[in-house]
Chains A and B, each alone.
Chain A
Amino acid sequence: MENVTQHSEPHYDPEASKLGMWLFIFTELLLFGGLFIVYSIYRFLNPVAFQLAGEELNVVIGAINTIILLVSSMTIAMSTTALQQKNKKLTLFLLIVTVVLALVFLVNKYFEWGTKFHHGIWPGSPHLINDMSKGEILFFGLYFVMTGLHALHIIIGMIFILVALKRVQKGTVNADRPSLLENAGLYWHLVDLIWIFLFPLFYLIH
């Protein structure tokens, strides 16, 4: 007879958690928004240098990564449908595909950054500072910061999806309580959304 006051009965409010997730997405949008402001101002001030530097980036890798992200966005969106149709196997499969695609994206990114490093281009590298124009330094500085931050979000998104996957497996996320999976999906789409803008702004300047 000790503990009668049970604390807030664990009530489940999917609308609240969805709203919370959206609000968080807004802050993420403004986080990148800050960087987009910086980018656009510097591009406006150094149009030629940005074009020159943009040509150094590999459009093919960029395009492949875009498609990977788009496909993974679809698979995770489908996974909620699968969950709601009570098809647990398909849900799990779709989630695994999403995570694998995310990994492929990161591997690509790794090689892409690797080549840049190989060419002596990294933030603050002597080649960058000594041999390039100011606009190009800015371009690559922003390139590393923005794609780096985006990659960090991919990693966070992957963890988020993995947690959801685990919970789907255990059955605590199911057709009646899909919130966690839906939120993981929302987050993942955010990552996609940002890339949709990063890709043309960095890879498609000619």
Chain B
Amino acid sequence: MEKEKHHIVPYRVYFYILLALITMTFMSIGLVHINLGGYSVLGALIFSTIKSTLVLTWFMHLKFDEPFLRIMVVFVILVFAALLFITYLDYFFR
């Protein structure tokens, strides 16, 4: 374990990720101006999800970390989603 070298990510990669993130930010702002009705929240959230996945995998190195960290992250996100879902079982059906 001690010997294991850290994966060094080249600067270039980080820069591309940033470009992708910024592009998506503008796209989600643009999305607001197209009238999608109820779907605009969904659109914005989809963009946010993609963006955060990028941040998690590249900026936060999950891609190069041990798999159990990835499993934990997914697990925590699922737990949160389940909390939200169950809370909605109340509010949605009231």
A interface residues (Cβ-Cβ under 8 A, vs B): 15, 18-19, 22, 26, 29-30, 33, 36-37, 40-41, 44-45, 59, 63, 66-67, 70-71, 73-74, 77-78, 81, 84-85, 178, 182, 185-186, 189, 192-193, 196-197, 199-201, 204-206
Contacts and interface: CB of A to CB of B under 8 A. Distances in A.
Chain B contact-residue range equals 35 or more
A74 B18 contact: yes
Contacts of A178: 6
A84 B83 CA distance: 40
A85 B87 CA distance: 48
B87 A19 contact: no
Contacts of B65: 18
A193 B55 contact: yes
Interface in B40-85: 40-41, 44-45, 47-48, 51-52, 55-56, 58-61, 65-66, 69, 72-73, 76-77, 80, 83-84
A59 B80 contact: no
A196 B80 contact: no
B73 to A, nearest CB: 7
Interface of B: 1, 6, 8-11, 14-15, 17-18, 21-22, 25-26, 28-29, 31-33, 40-41, 44-45, 47-48, 51-52, 55-56, 58-61, 65-66, 69, 72-73, 76-77, 80, 83-84, 87-88, 91-92
Contacts, number: 104
Nearest to B84: A37
27 contacts: A22-B69, A26-B72, A30-B80, A36-B84, A37-B83, A37-B87, A63-B25, A66-B25, A67-B22, A70-B22, A74-B15, A74-B17, A77-B9, A77-B58, A77-B59, A178-B6, A186-B60, A189-B60, A196-B55, A197-B48, A197-B52, A199-B48, A200-B28, A200-B47, A204-B29, A204-B40, A206-B32
B11 A81 contact: yes
